[in-house]
Amino acid sequence: MSKKLAIGVIGAGRIGQIHAKALAFMVPRAEVACVSDLRLDAAKALADECGAAKTTDDYQDIINDKSIDAVCICSTTDTHAQIMEEAANVGKHVFCEKPIALELPAIDKALAAVKKAGIVLMLGFNRRYDSGNIAIRDAVSSGKVGIPELCLITSRDPAPPPLDHMKLTGGFFLDTSIHDFDIARFVLGDEPEEVFSYAACRVDPRIGEIGDFDTCMHTLRFKNGAFCNIDNSRRATYGYDQRVEVFGSKGSIATVNKLENNTVFADGDGIHTPPLQNFFLERYLAAYQAEGRIFVDCVQSGTQPPSGGYDGRISVVMAKAALKSVREKRPVRMEEVEA
Amino acid sequence: MSKKLAIGVIGAGRIGQIHAKALAFMVPRAEVACVSDLRLDAAKALADECGAAKTTDDYQDIINDKSIDAVCICSTTDTHAQIMEEAANVGKHVFCEKPIALELPAIDKALAAVKKAGIVLMLGFNRRYDSGNIAIRDAVSSGKVGIPELCLITSRDPAPPPLDHMKLTGGFFLDTSIHDFDIARFVLGDEPEEVFSYAACRVDPRIGEIGDFDTCMHTLRFKNGAFCNIDNSRRATYGYDQRVEVFGSKGSIATVNKLENNTVFADGDGIHTPPLQNFFLERYLAAYQAEGRIFVDCVQSGTQPPSGGYDGRISVVMAKAALKSVREKRPVRMEEVEA
Amino acid sequence: MSKKLAIGVIGAGRIGQIHAKALAFMVPRAEVACVSDLRLDAAKALADECGAAKTTDDYQDIINDKSIDAVCICSTTDTHAQIMEEAANVGKHVFCEKPIALELPAIDKALAAVKKAGIVLMLGFNRRYDSGNIAIRDAVSSGKVGIPELCLITSRDPAPPPLDHMKLTGGFFLDTSIHDFDIARFVLGDEPEEVFSYAACRVDPRIGEIGDFDTCMHTLRFKNGAFCNIDNSRRATYGYDQRVEVFGSKGSIATVNKLENNTVFADGDGIHTPPLQNFFLERYLAAYQAEGRIFVDCVQSGTQPPSGGYDGRISVVMAKAALKSVREKRPVRMEEVEA
Amino acid sequence: MSKKLAIGVIGAGRIGQIHAKALAFMVPRAEVACVSDLRLDAAKALADECGAAKTTDDYQDIINDKSIDAVCICSTTDTHAQIMEEAANVGKHVFCEKPIALELPAIDKALAAVKKAGIVLMLGFNRRYDSGNIAIRDAVSSGKVGIPELCLITSRDPAPPPLDHMKLTGGFFLDTSIHDFDIARFVLGDEPEEVFSYAACRVDPRIGEIGDFDTCMHTLRFKNGAFCNIDNSRRATYGYDQRVEVFGSKGSIATVNKLENNTVFADGDGIHTPPLQNFFLERYLAAYQAEGRIFVDCVQSGTQPPSGGYDGRISVVMAKAALKSVREKRPVRMEEVEA
C-alpha cells in the first residue's frame, strides 16, 4: 500500500464524527492521524473509534505537526476562517465545513491565504456529492433537459437543532439555506442575480426570540433567466425532506426522497411506506464518503475539487442578500451585498 | 343523428346496471330500449335511470321484440346459454356476461346457434378493454418485451360476494379466476397447455362448507413456453388488487394498481396513499364503457369483437382443468378436460 | 323522471364542448336545451352531439327563452360580464367560465346584478372539483396537516394555445395563473396578502412580442402566514403537469400527476411510465363532470356553489397584483390593486 | 480497542472479496487475519486491500493457525462441507456460503461436526440481513399482516454467470432458487410441505446443453397453508429484480426494487427512472455488511445466528424437491427427498 494521506480532524462533534469515520473506513488512501477538540474526552473517543494515534485539545498541535498532510475543519463556524488561514500558511490542504465565516472580509482574508499557499481547499457542500444531485447536474450540463427555466428545491429538517447551536451558526439562512443556495448553482450551472425571500418563525417561538427564522421561501432569478424557488423548514414530521427539480425546454429531472426502507404495506387505511430517512447523517452517508474520497483524490492529483473557495464565498453572499430581502421587503441583487 | 342500436338488457342486477348505464350514457350510438328482470321493480328502476321505454319480467318479450337489435345478457349464469341461443335464432346480436355456461356441451350448443345465425357475439371479459392491459398486450405483440417467458397475475377481491351468489356462479374458478385465465391468454397472445393449482378456504368457513374456495394459486405453462402464475383471494383488506406483469427477453411490462385518489400524505408514521379503488365497478368503469362502444362498433361494422365465443369457451376449459388439478393433486393438460 | 334543468350553452368552442357534453351525458338532472355560437355551424354540431333541440348564433335568444333555466357562459372573456348581467336580470342561474372580466369595475357591475337577482352563480374553477385537490383541502380544513406553513403549486401546460387565443384572454396570469391563485386559496382556506412575481418569455418569442409571458414564478404570503410558490410554464414536453402540495405543522399532503395509463415498462435504459395525461380535457374530465352535477344541485337546492362570485373577483385581483409586481419589481399587496 | 475477532477468509473470488472487505472495513470488531486462495496472486491482492497480514494457497494453513478465531468459507461449493468440518474440529467458528453441499449426507456429516464442536455456524443467506426483508418478516411475525395466505417472490439476475461457474454450483435451483426458498421460509416463519416447479432453458442454449435451466417458476404449499410462488430468470435486461410480497388476512407487505439513483426524468416519451441496481454486490451491500457484524456479534456473545445449519440443509432439500418435481412432472413433498 502506498502512503496514506494523513489528516487531522479538528472538531469531534456531530459533523466531525461523520467526516472522521468516512475518512478512516471508507477512503482507502486516507488515515485520521489526529483528532482535536476543546473537550479532550470527545477527541479521544473519536480517535479511538477511527484508529487515530494522536489526540489534542489544541488544534495548533495539528497545525504544527509536520507529519500531517491536511486538515478537516469541523469546529464551530466562528473558528473556520482562522484555522483555514493557519493551515494554508503551513502548506496543509484544507477540507472546511460551511460556512467559511459569517462576514465577507474574514472569508476574503482566508481565501487569500489559500490562494497564496496554492493548497487544495474543499468546502463541505456534501449535497454536491449525492448521486441524485450529480445526475441532475449532468442532465442539465449535457443538454438533456434543454435550457433550464424553472428550479424547485425543497429542504426541510425533521427537527430544529438545539438553540445554543443555532446561536453560533449565523442563523437559518447561513446554516441551512446555504446548502440550497449552493445546490441551485450546482444543478443550474449558473450564477444568481437576485433573490426575494419570505421568512418567519413558525416552529418554535424561542427561535424568534433569538432573532432567527425557522420557515422560509426564497425566489431567485439566475443570470441565464432561470427562476428558482427554495423552501425550508426546521421541522417536518415525516423526516428529512430533500428534493431538487430542474425544468427545462426539453424535459424535467427531479430527485425523489429516500425512505427508511423499501417496503410498502397495504391495509384498509391505504398504502403505506416508511418515513423519509431521518436526517443528513443517514440521507447523505454515501455523499460524505464520496466527498472524502474526492478530497483525497484532489490532494493527491493536485486538482481543485467540485466545491471550492468561490462556492463557499458566493453562498454566503446569497444568504446575506436573502436576509437583506427579508429585512427590506424587496428583491435584492447580489452586488448589493458586496458593496 | 343516425339511428341508435336498440339494446335489450336482460338482468337488472349489479352487472346489468353497469352495462345499461354505460350503454345509455357513454355510448352515443346505442340506446337501452328495454330492461327485463324477474323482479319487475328492479327492471323499472333501471329503465327509468337509463331512459328505457319498456320493461318486462320475461326476457322472451325482448327476444320477440323486432325493434330490438341486440341483447345484453346479464342474468344468472345458468340462463346465459339458453338466452344466447334464442337471441341468435331470431338474429339478434349478443353481448353476454361470463361464463357462457358451466358445462361444455351447453356452451357448444349455444355457440353453434351463434355460428349458424352469423350474429356478432361479444363476451364480457371487461379487463380486455382496460387501457393498461391493452398496453401490455401491445407491448408483447409488437415485440417490445421480446419473447414472453414469465407472467404474473394478481387478482384479489376486497370482500366475498353473498353466499347465495357464490352458489350460482359455478365456484371461485369459474366466477373469478376465469377473468385471469382470459387475461393471461390476452396479454401473452398464446394458448395454455397445462395448469397446476392450489386452492383453499381461508377467508370464510361457510365458503368451504358449500364446497368452494376463496384463496388459490394457479401455475400455467403456455404453448410457446411461458410460465404464468395467477393468485386470487376473495378478501384483500386494502381494496381490489389488480396487477398483470409480462417478463420477456427484452424487458418487462406491468400494470400498477389504481388508487382512490392521487394524493400522498406524509407524517411521522410514514408516507400514505389512499387504498385501491374498491371494486370492479370503480376500477373498470372506463373499461366497461369502452366495451359497450366496441360492441356497438362491431355490430354496426359487422366485425368480430376482441372477446368472442372461443374465448368464452376456452376460459371455462381452463377453469375446469384447474379444478381437476386441485382434486387430483397434479398438473392437468387442457385436452384432459375436453375428453 | 323529474323535470331536468334546461341549460343554454353560450359558446361552442373547446370549453363549451366540455361543459355541454358533461351536462348532457353525465348530469342526469340536466339537459342542454340550446347551444349558441357566433358560428352557427359550430352551435349546430354541438347541439346535435348533445341532443339539444335549439341552436342560435345570438345568445340573446337564450336570454329571452323562458323555458331555459340557466346559462353556461363559455364565450370569449370580453363577453362574460355582460352576459352574466343580462342572465341575472331575467332570473336565470349562471355558470360562468373564468375570468368574469379583465377589469374590476366590470366584474363588480355584473356581481351586483347577480346579488340583486338572487340567482345561483358558479365560477368555472374546475380544479376545485378534482378529487385530489378536495382531499388536500379536507386535510387542511380538518387539521390533519396542522397549521399550513408552505404551499407549492406547479402548473405547466403541454403547449401554448394559438396566439390569437392568447390575445383575447388577458394574458398568462389572467388566463392560466388565475387557476393556481384560486386553488391556493381553496386548499389553504386562507386569503392572500401579498405577491412577488417573476415572469419571462422563454417558450416562444412571439408571445413576448404581444407583451405576454409564458414562464413565471409567483411567491405569495397569506394572511395566516403561509408562504406559497406557484410556477407556471406554457410548455412541458412531458404533458400537463399539475401538482399541489401543502406542508403544515403535522404533516404534508400533495397530489401526484396522472399518467396516460397505469403501466410500467422496464428495459436496459431504465424504468418507464407513459407521459402525463396531456391536457385539461383528459386530466380534469371527472372534475368537469362533478362541476356540472354540483351546479345543478346548487340550483335545485338553492345553495351557493364552492366557487362563486367572490372567488371569481379575488382571483382577478391576485393576477393584477402579480402583474404589478412584475412591472414594478417589488412585492405587491392585494389592496394596492383595489385602490 | 478490545481484541478483534481474527478471521481467515477462504476463497478470494467475487463473494470472498465482498465478505473480506465488509469484515475489514465495516465490522469494527473484526479483522481479516489471513486470505487463502488456490491462486496465490488473488489471495495476496485481496489481503493487501483488506490489510490482512497473511496469505496462503492452502486453506489448511488457516485451519492450523491458532491465532485465527473463525473462518469465512467462500471457496467453491464442492469444498464447503469438508472445510466446515475441519474448522469445527479445531474449534473455529464458521461463516459458510450456500449451499453447504450438493448432497444431504455430506451436509449431515458437516453439521454433526459443528454440533459436536459447539461452534457458531452462520450460513451466507445474505437476503435475511436486508432491511426490507427483515421488515416483511417482522410484519408477519408481529401479526401486522394477519395470517399469511399468499407469498410472491421474484428474483431475476441481470445476466447468467460464466458457464464454468454454473457447472460447479449444482445448477440453477441449488445456486439461485435456494436463496428464494430460504427467504420464503424466513418471511413466512413457516416450513414448506410441497413444491411444484416448471423450469426451462430460455436464455442461452448452452445452459440447456449442460443440463441446467435458466428460467423457472416454483409453487409451494407451506405447512400453515400459505401458497408461495417463486419466479426466477438468469437474465433481466433492466437489472437485478428482487421482490418479496406477503399477503395476509389483515393486509399485504412487499419490497420494491432499488434503483441506481433516485432521479426521475420526464420528456415526451414518458417518465423515466434509472435501471435497477445491477446485481447482488450493489443491491445487498448493506446486507453483507450487517451479516458480517451479526456473525461477529454471535461469536462474541455465543448465540446462534439468524441463518444456521438447519436453514442451510432445508434449503437444499427444497431445491432437490423442486428438481424432482420438474423431472417427474408432479408436486413433490419434502419428505420424499429425505427418503
Judge: B262–C264 Cβ closer than 8 Å, yes or no.
Answer: no
User: Are C299 and C120 within 8 A, CB to CB?
Assistant: yes
**Mean local confidence (pLDDT), B243-252:** 98
User: Could you tell me the pLDDT band of residue C339, with boundaries at 50, 70 and 90?
Assistant: low
The C-alpha of B236 sits at a distance from chain D's nearest C-alpha, in angstroms, of: 7
Q: Is C264 on the interface with A (CB under 8 A)?
A: no
User: Are D287 and D108 within 8 A, CB to CB?
Assistant: no
State residue C281's pLDDT score. Answer: 82
Judge: C238–A251 Cβ closer than 8 Å, yes or no.
Answer: yes
The C-alpha of C324 sits at a distance from chain D's nearest C-alpha, in angstroms, of: 33
The C-alpha of B236 sits at a distance from chain A's nearest C-alpha, in angstroms, of: 8
Which residue among D253, D261, D268 sits closest to A263, beta carbon to beta carbon? D253
Which residue among C149, C251, C330 sits closest to A215, beta carbon to beta carbon? C149
State residue A338's pLDDT score. Answer: 85
| ipTM score | 0.94
User: Which chains form contacts with chain D, at 3 or more CB pairs under 8 Å?
Assistant: A, B, C
Query: Residues B195-237: pLDDT tens digits?
Result: 999 999 999 999 999 999 999 999 999 999 999 999 999 999 9
Spatial separation of the C-alpha atoms in residues D6 and D15, rounded to whole Å: 19
Which 316-335 residues of chain B touch chain D by CB within 8 A?
Answer: 329-331
Average pLDDT, chain B: 95
Judge: D256–A264 Cβ closer than 8 Å, yes or no.
Answer: yes
Suggest the residue from D177, D217, D272, D326 to mutate for an interface test with chain B (most B CBs closer than 10 A).
D217
Q: Locate the chain C residue with the closest alpha carbon to D260.
A: C270
Q: Is D2 on the interface with C (CB under 8 A)?
A: no
**Mean local confidence (pLDDT), D218-233:** 98
Query: Residues C294-332: pLDDT tens digits?
Result: 999 999 999 999 999 999 999 999 999 999 999 999 999
Spatial separation of the C-alpha atoms in residues D283 and D224, rounded to whole Å: 31
Q: Show Cβ contacts of residue B277 under 8 Å, excluding neighbours closer than 6 positions.
A: B239, B240, B257, B258, B259, B260, B283
**Mean local confidence (pLDDT), B58-62:** 97
Judge: A269–B270 Cβ closer than 8 Å, yes or no.
Answer: no
State residue B1's pLDDT score. Answer: 38
Reference C273, options A249, D252, B131; nearest CA is B131
Total CB pairs under 8 A between chain A and D: 80
State residue D339's pLDDT score. Answer: 65
Neighbours of A159 (CB within 10 A): 14
pLDDT greater than 60 at residue D301: yes
Query: Residues B100-139: pLDDT tens digits?
Result: 999 999 999 999 999 999 999 999 999 999 999 999 999 9
Q: Is A221 on the interface with C (CB under 8 A)?
A: yes
Average pLDDT, chain C: 95
pTM summary value: 0.94
The C-alpha of A331 sits at a distance from chain B's nearest C-alpha, in angstroms, of: 33
Q: Is B238 on the interface with D (CB under 8 A)?
A: yes
Which residue among B239, B271, B275 sits closest to A238, beta carbon to beta carbon? B271
Which residue among C268, C273, C276 sits closest to D237, beta carbon to beta carbon? C268
Q: Is C203 on the interface with A (CB under 8 A)?
A: yes
Which residue among C219, C225, C330 sits closest to A219, beta carbon to beta carbon? C219
Which cell numbers in the block locate residue C323?
402583474
Q: Is C198 on the interface with A (CB under 8 A)?
A: yes
State residue C1's pLDDT score. Answer: 39
Q: Using the 8-state DSSP alphabet, how is residue D160 labeled?
A: P
The C-alpha of A236 sits at a distance from chain C's nearest C-alpha, in angstroms, of: 7
Half-sphere exposure of C29 (CA within 13 A, CB side): 15
Query: Residues C117-136: pLDDT tens digits?
Result: 999 999 999 999 999 999 99
Q: Is A237 on the interface with B (CB under 8 A)?
A: yes
Neighbours of A113 (CB within 10 A): 18
Chain B positions touching D247 (Cβ under 8 A) are 156, 231, 233, 236
The C-alpha of B288 sits at a distance from chain D's nearest C-alpha, in angstroms, of: 26
Judge: A273–B268 Cβ closer than 8 Å, yes or no.
Answer: no
Chain D positions touching B240 (Cβ under 8 A) are none
Judge: C264–B256 Cβ closer than 8 Å, yes or no.
Answer: yes
Judge: A264–D250 Cβ closer than 8 Å, yes or no.
Answer: no
What is D249-298 written as a DSSP string? SS-EEEE-PPBSSSEEEEETTEEEEPPBP-SHHHHTHHHHHHHHHHHHHH
Which 268-307 residues of chain B touch chain C by CB within 8 A?
Answer: 268, 274
Which amino acid would we find at residue C337? V
User: Are A45 and A71 within 8 A, CB to CB?
Assistant: no
Query: Residues D89-119: pLDDT tens digits?
Result: 999 999 999 999 999 999 999 999 999 999 9
CA distances from A287 to A6, A26, A127, A283 (A): 21, 11, 7, 8
Judge: D136–A253 Cβ closer than 8 Å, yes or no.
Answer: no
User: Which chains form contacts with chain B, at 3 or more CB pairs under 8 Å?
Assistant: A, C, D
Q: Show Cβ contacts of residue C333 under 8 Å, excluding neighbours closer than 6 positions.
A: C193, C194, C321
pLDDT tens for chain A, 339 residues long, are: 357 899 999 999 999 999 999 998 888 889 999 999 999 999 999 999 888 999 999 999 999 999 999 999 999 999 999 999 999 999 999 999 999 999 999 999 999 999 999 999 999 999 999 999 999 999 999 999 999 999 999 999 999 999 988 888 899 999 999 999 999 999 999 999 999 999 999 999 999 999 999 999 999 999 999 999 999 999 999 999 999 999 999 999 999 999 999 999 999 999 999 999 988 888 888 999 999 999 999 999 999 999 999 999 999 999 999 999 999 999 999 999 986
User: Are A257 and A242 within 8 A, CB to CB?
Assistant: yes
Q: Locate the chain C residue with the closest alpha carbon to A200.
A: C225
Neighbours of C93 (CB within 10 A): 25
Judge: A238–B273 Cβ closer than 8 Å, yes or no.
Answer: no
Which residue among A196, A233, A330 sits closest to C149, beta carbon to beta carbon? A233
Judge: D275–C269 Cβ closer than 8 Å, yes or no.
Answer: yes
Phi, psi (degrees; rounded to nearest 5) at C122: -125, 130
Query: Residues B251-306: pLDDT tens digits?
Result: 999 999 999 999 999 999 999 999 999 888 888 889 999 999 999 999 999 999 99
Reference C23, options C237, C299, C328, C216; nearest CA is C299
The C-alpha of C132 sits at a distance from chain B's nearest C-alpha, in angstroms, of: 6
Exposed (0-12), middle (13-18) or buried (19+): which is A60, by Cβ within 10 Å?
Answer: exposed
What is B92-119 written as a DSSP string? -EEEEPSPS-SSHHHHHHHHHHHHHHT-
pLDDT greater than 90 at residue B165: no
Q: Strand order in A54-56's β-sheet? A: A54-56, A30-36, A5-10, A70-73, A93-96, A121-123
Q: Is C262 on the interface with B (CB under 8 A)?
A: yes
